Structure 1
Amino acid sequence: MLIHIIYDAPKELGAKFDPLAGVIRFVGPKPDGWSHGEERLLKDLPEEQAPVYLALASAIQDKGGDWVATQVWARMMGQDKVSLQVEARQDGTGAIRTFTSEDDPSLLVDDPAAVAFFKHFTTTSNI
């Protein structure tokens, strides 16, 4: 199972990042044997899940420099870690870079709340 977050591009140059502007997609096998995604707007996350997501989004955006996340992919690594892959755009040049847990160990998240967030949305009944 995979969680894919796609952030809306800011409408104005230099606009502040809005962690609730975009969609979150849940992709993975379904009982019928097919893999297909479902999505919802980030602003429509369940009330109990929103604070956990906002903490993760803040950690993702605080990578330093003038990089702003455009997309994030999250996958479980074992039973107690979530691996994040972050695509980011540099404000000044527009360059795109992908950050992974291989080059930034902080993207391998073992916080129990983050793991619970991932598991909450990767069970069919909660999507």
Structure 2
Amino acid sequence: MIMEVSASIASDVEPHVRWSVGYAPEVDVDGERFILAHLHAVGEDGVVEVEIGASQIGGDLGELDDPEIQRFESSLANSDALDVLYGLARITAAGLAGTIESDIPLPLNQPVAEITPLVRSTETTESEAP
């Protein structure tokens, strides 16, 4: 599911693409693991960003302990699921770039993803503080 998109006109920026993926170390109440992917692409005259959420379902899902994290991240990095998420993000980003008339280079194949666990926010606002 596409969670958020943005496009903006920019100048004097170095073109680059960053593909990052975060995952919940624990499963939710339905036994699914949340995954959030973010594509950030910059061209000479524009910037596009796409966030996509997905759920990992099935298999032996549970909270990931330290020894399992590396194995999970490696498995995720080499999965077809991540290729599909990147493809969706890339198509969406290309459409966004068109809305600002920018020619942002988007690789056909997914770049190496930066994969990290998501961290649950523990911040409270002043009105929530005791």
TM-score, length-scaled by structure 2: 0.31
Higher alpha-carbon Rg: 2
If asked which structure has higher relative contact order (CA below 8 Å, sep 6+), I would say: 2
Give the structure with the higher percent strand.
1
TM-score, length-scaled by structure 1: 0.32
